Structure 1
Amino acid sequence: MSNPGHPDDTDAIEKERQRWDQGSSTRDRVYDTAIQLYEPATVDDVASRAHCSEGAAREHLEWLSARGIVEPIDGRPKQYQRNHAYFEWVRANELRREHTDAELETKLSALVAEEQAYREQYGVADPGQIDALAEADYDSLETVWEDIGDWKTIRRELRIIERARKDRNTLSGAGIVG
């Protein structure tokens, strides 16, 4: 289940456990574990990481699933992973509440410029089109991988800001937000 260099890595798990030693509920531990499931994980995996029984992990994962926070993956054994769309929605709502239209527009413009710079640098429209091994020599391979990751982050932030702006317009049109 561990993916080095990813939020699921061993250091993150150890930090989780140290924080839990200071006291937290089973539901909180399962939630903290579940929101870090970038790859599918079994109930047993979650129970082990959250320091709880499989029954408790299953109960809380089903509760989180019913609220759209995690997604169940059918199979034997059943697995769960975080629902990325849910977290993008949460982030969009935070941006909409915490920033003015002008601030969102400024953020959007800066991100569009950064994305355009990557498009020009690599001569492709999407970071998934970059062949890092063909693009770089051994010494610059890490830089290319970082650029790909940064570009993907920029694209995700663009989607989230656009959603925040769209949601604000929809809510304003409905008379919900002033």
Structure 2
Amino acid sequence: MDEFDPTPTTDEPHWQQDTDTFGRIYDVVLGTTTLTPCAEIAEIADCSANAAKKHLDRLVEMGIARADTDGQPARYARNDAYFEWQEASRIAREMTVEEIVERVSDLEAERESYEERFEATDPASVSAFDADDHDAVHERMAAIGDWHAVIRDIRLYELARQISQNDGHLIPA
């Protein structure tokens, strides 16, 4: 029987074999939710800091990443607004305005039920730990997470409605 060897057969991860430097930086930025120093992103993407900065600046110009260049070192993260815009644009292409309006109405009813259940208008103001046992805490955590998702979806579908009603633009041309 062969013995298991936990050491990979190649010196670099599989995703790097077929991916150029820009692609690796892009992949790292997609997973970066908090502002992160350029050098740290470069290390994860297995490239030089100069190459990382060049590609990160390009991603900022494209709107895919955001940057804080006021302090040193420069820090970067993905731009969640860009991805929300992409999702809203997809919804606007795939659904009619009537379908979007109906979905928003359903989501608003769901949001109202959470507000009534928790006697609050903001899920961030509700503690998941106001329960007696582990299962109840877990259930409250899931419900609060779902409530956050409903609020996000309302925002996305409202944006999609505006895009759809304005021929692909956020505001009338």
Instruction: Tell me the TM-score range normalised by the shorter chain.
Output: 0.7 to 0.9
**Superposition deviation, residue 172 in structure 1:** 7.7
Could you tell me which runs of 5 or more consecutive residues in structure 1 were left unpaired when the two chains were aligned.
1-16
Residue 166 in structure 1 maps to residue 159 in structure 2: no
2:22 corresponding residue in structure 1: 27
Q: Distance in 2 between matches of 1:77 and 1:171?
A: 41
What aligned pairs does 1:52-67 form with structure 2 within 5 A after superposition?
52-67=47-62
TM-score by length of 2: 0.81
Q: Distance in 1 between matches of 2:148 and 2:30?
A: 20
**Superposition deviation, residue 170 in structure 1:** 2.1
**Superposition deviation, residue 121 in structure 1:** 1.1
Q: Is the CA contact (8 Å cut-off) linking 2:42 and 2:48 kept in structure 1?
A: yes
Q: Distance in 1 between matches of 2:77 and 2:139?
A: 29
Q: Which has the higher helix share?
A: 1
1:78 corresponding residue in structure 2: 74
Q: Distance in 2 between matches of 1:83 and 1:77?
A: 19
**Superposition deviation, residue 106 in structure 1:** 3.1
Residue 110 in structure 1 maps to residue 102 in structure 2: no
Equivalent AA in structure 2 for residue 127 of structure 1: P
Seq. identity, %: 33
Q: Distance in 2 between matches of 1:172 and 1:75?
A: 37
When structure 1 is superposed on structure 2, of 51-60 and 139-148 the one drifting more is 139-148
Residue 154 in structure 1 maps to residue 150 in structure 2: yes
SS of 1:132's partner is coil
Q: CA RMSD in A?
A: 2.3
Distance 1:172 1:29, change over 3 A: closer
**Superposition deviation, residue 168 in structure 1:** 1.7
Superposition misfits of 4+ residues, deviation over 6 angstroms: 172-176
Distance 1:81 1:149, change over 3 A: same
TM-score by length of 1: 0.79
| Structure with more contact order per residue of length (Cα contacts < 8 Å, sep ≥ 6) | 2
How many positions carry a matched residue from both structures?
159
Distance 1:22 1:107, change over 3 A: farther
1:6 corresponding residue in structure 2: none
Q: Computing the radius of gyration over CA atoms, which structure comes out larger, 1 or 2?
A: 2
